[in-house]
Each structure stands twice: as structure tokens, then as C-alpha cells.
């Protein structure tokens, strides 16, 4: 039996997901077809409906559709409903189901890379779906000292902080209010790029971010070479990681949802870095 899978985004030509899932399928002894689908927002609903109606097994969702895809599913995981971001679709008895493996995949990659976020001060650049996913996972699973959020559009920061609420053990702080906290938070230990800036061009941000020599810069995005975010970050620190590891880890969790098989990730990440 051949299983039909794919990744949907706009643009999507750069995606490494087909390479990853084909490697997972070889481990599982499965036959799959995994294609890239460059779909504009206006066409997304019809595409999802027809994909699954025509025998599709599962879809990965990437930018800019992680929010809008939720409108076209029948049911969703609790975290997806709360934070309105999904990256994995699968058919179940109740119809099309939406899940997000971004946050758990991010935490798994931190664990593999021995990056400890407990008792750390974290700055997240961006306030979209990717930021929501990782912040919710961090708050549920780890205990950083603080989480700051910075975004070009101030209203999105306010909206994200409101959505996250105060029922987590830690409430994210608007980075524009850093001056009020600098006596307690001298510098950021980890800076995470959760924006799409730099995917197709040069990354830029304010240079007055308080950091130290050991600050870790983590880019949720990836590219063939060094990402433009990590190029920008190199002026502050040599401790930089791109998003390939997270991509592999969240893909493994998606694959588990589709086939109930947990693939090995180490070999696949090495394959991407060749």
C-alpha cells in the first residue's frame, strides 16, 4: 500500500520535509508519496478537502497556513484550539484532525543539543503561530526565569500575552517593558527567532538586545547554509543553531501520529547537514 502525504505552504520549494519523511518511511518499511504543495491562502480549504477526499493520509502545514488551516478541519487537539496553530493534519473517524508537533519537537531538539532552559532568561522574536507553539510547550514542560516577546507589530505581542494568560506558571513579558525588569534580568541567555524574516532575504532587528558571551541564538528557520538570522547573531555570540533539528524532531512526531511508528532522528539530521 502506498501512503499519500505532503507539505503545504507558500512558498514551499525550500522544504526538506519530503527528504525527512522518505527517510522515516524507509526505517518503517513503508511506501509513501510525499510531495510539496505551493498553495495560496484562497485555495487552501479546497486543497485540504480534496487531498483527503482523494485518499490522502496526512499533511504537514508550514507558513503561512498554520492558523488558517484550522478553519478547514473537523476537530483539533486542545493546544491547537487554544493557540490557533497547527502543523499536522490526519484523517480520523471523526474527519480531519489538526495537531501541532512544533513545540514538542522544539523541546526535543533542545534536549538532544543539551540546551537547558531551566532558570534561563529567554527572548522570543516574533508573536505568530510558531511563537505560540514553543512558548506553550516551554511553559508546560520547563521552568525558565523569564520569557520576553518582541515583535514589530505591538498589537500581536499584546494579543499573544493575552492568549497565553496567567494560568501557566510563568507569564511572558513584553520586551518593550524590559527597562522595568533589567535589575532582575541582566541579559538574555537564549534568543529564539520565531519570525519568517530572513527566509528570503536579509534578517535585521534592533541591536540593543542585552546578551552575554554565552547567549544561545536559536533559529526556528533553516537554509542550505547559515541562516541570515544566525549571520546577524554572530556579532553577539558563536553559539548558534538553526531549525533543522527541530524540523526533524517535529517531523518524527508527525510520522508517529500517522503511522504509530517512532523513527530514529539522529541519522536523518546528519543527512540534512551533508
Per-residue pLDDT of the chain (274 residues), as tens digits, is: 999 999 999 999 989 999 999 999 999 999 999 999 999 999 999 999 999 999 999 999 998 999 999 999 999 999 899 888 899 999 988 899 999 999 999 999 999 999 999 999 999 999 887 888 888 788 776 688 999 999 888 888 888 888 776 555 567 888 988 888 888 888 999 999 998 765 656 776 776 889 999 999 999 988 888 889 999 999 999 999 999 999 999 999 999 999 999 999 999 998 888 7
Residue 4: the pLDDT is 98
CA distance 168 to 155: 21
Every domain of the chain and the residues it spans:
2-100+246-272, 116-242
Please give the pLDDT value at position 274.
73
| pLDDT value for 101 | 95
| CATH 1.10.3720.10 at 2-100+246-272, yes or no | no
Q: How many CB atoms lie within 10 A of CB 208?
A: 7
Strands (E), the chain: 2-9, 31-38, 56-61, 75-76, 88-92, 95-99, 121-125, 146-150, 173-174, 188-193, 211-219, 240-241
* pLDDT in the model for residue 234: 92
State the first-to-last Cα distance of the chain, in angstroms, to the nearest integer.
31
pLDDT attached to residue 220: 93
Q: Is 66 one of the annotated active-site residues of the chain?
A: yes
| 8 A C-beta contact, residue 89 and residue 48 | yes
Q: Peptide bond before 136: cis, by omega within 30 degrees of 0?
A: no
Q: Do domains 2-100+246-272 and 116-242 have the same CATH topology?
A: yes
Cα dist. 44→1, 4, 101, 260 in Å? 27, 18, 20, 27
pLDDT of 20 reads 98
Three-state secondary-structure class, residue 146? strand
pTM comes to 0.90
> Which is the CATH superfamily of the domain at 116-242?
NAD(P)-binding Rossmann-like Domain (3.40.50.720)
Identify the burial level of 95 via C-beta atoms within 10 angstroms of its C-beta, where 0-12 means exposed, 13-18 middle and 19 or more buried.
Answer: exposed
* pLDDT score of 196: 76
Catalytic residue among 66, 120, 132, 197: 66
Amino acid at each position: 500500500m502506498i501512503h499519500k502525504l505532503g507539505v503545504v505552504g507558500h512558498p514551499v520549494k525550500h522544504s526538506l520535509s519530503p527528504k525527512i519523511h522518505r527517510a522515516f518511511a524507509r526505517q518503517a518499511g513503508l511506501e509513501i508519496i510525499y510531495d510539496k504543495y505551493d498553495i495560496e491562502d484562497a485555495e487552501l480549504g479546497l486543497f485540504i478537502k480534496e487531498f483527503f477526499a482523494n485518499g490522502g493520509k496526512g499533511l504537514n502545514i508550514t507558513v503561512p497556513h498554520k492558523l488558517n488551516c484550522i478553519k478547514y478541519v473537523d476537530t483539533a487537539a486542545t493546544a491547537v484550539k487554544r493557540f490557533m496553530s497547527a502543523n499536522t493534519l490526519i484523517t480520523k473517524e471523526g474527519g480531519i484532525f489538526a495537531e501541532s508537533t512544533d513545540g514538542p519537537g522544539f523541546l526535543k531538539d533542545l534536549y538532544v543539543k543539551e540546551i537547558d532552559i531551566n532558570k534561563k532568561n529567554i527572548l522570543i522574536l516574533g508573536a505568530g503561530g510558531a511563537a505560540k507553539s514553543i512558548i506553550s510547550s516551554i511553559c508546560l514542560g520547563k521552568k525558565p526565569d523569564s520569557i520576553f516577546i518582541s515583535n514589530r507589530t505591538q498589537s500581536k505581542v499584546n494579543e499573544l500575552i493575552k492568549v497565553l494568560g496567567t494560568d501557566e506558571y510563568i507569564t511572558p513579558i513584553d520586551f518593550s517593558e524590559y527597562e522595568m525588569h533589567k535589575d532582575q534580568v541582566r541579559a538574555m541567555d537564549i534568543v529564539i527567532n520565531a519570525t519568517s524574516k530572513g527566509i528570503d532575504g536579509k534578517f535585521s532587528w534592533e541591536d540593543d538586545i542585552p546578551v552575554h558571551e554565552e547567549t544561545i541564538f536559536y533559529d526556528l528557520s533553516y537554509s542550505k547554509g547559515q541562516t541570515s538570522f544566525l549571520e546577524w547573531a554572530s556579532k553577539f555570540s558563536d553559539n548558534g543553531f538553526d531549525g533543522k533539528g527541530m524540523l526533524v524532531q517535529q517531523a518524527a512526531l508527525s510520522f508517529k501520529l500517522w503511522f504509530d511508528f517512532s523513527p530514529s532522528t539522529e541519522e536523518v539530521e546528519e543527512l540534512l547537514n551533508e
